[in-house]
Amino acid sequence: MSLRLEDLPVELLRELVARVRQAVDYSPRDGVTCPLCRTGRRPGQDMGVIKTMAWHGSLRERYHACRVCGHRFKSVQSC
C-alpha cells in the first residue's frame, strides 16, 4: 500500500510545510534537530553540515542535510 499526498489531511501538510520553511536554532553544545523528522541532538544522530557561513554580527548560518530523512535545512546560531 502506498501513501498518496492527496490522502494526507490538510492540517498535517500545512504543519510539514511550516517546519520545512523555518530556520532552526543551532546549539554549539547540542547541535541541531531536523525540522522534518525531528531526529538529532542525541549521540549518533548528528546532522551533516553542508556549509557554514561567516559570522554576521552575532549570527551565523549553517546549512545541513539530515542523515536520517535527507531533508536539507538552515540553522541559525547566535552568541
Q: Which three cell numbers stand for residue 46?
A: 548528528
pLDDT of residue 55: 93
- pLDDT for res 8: 81
pLDDT reported for residue 42: 64
What is the layout of strands, in order, in the sheet containing 24-25?
24-25, 72-78, 59-65, 48-52
CB 40 within 8 A of CB 48: no
d(CA 14, CA 53): 29
| pTM for the model | 0.69
| Per-residue model confidence (pLDDT) at position 1 | 60
pLDDT score at 43: 58
pLDDT for the residue 28: 85
Q: What is the mean pLDDT of each run of 10 residues along the chain (79 residues)?
A: 78 76 83 85 72 92 89 88
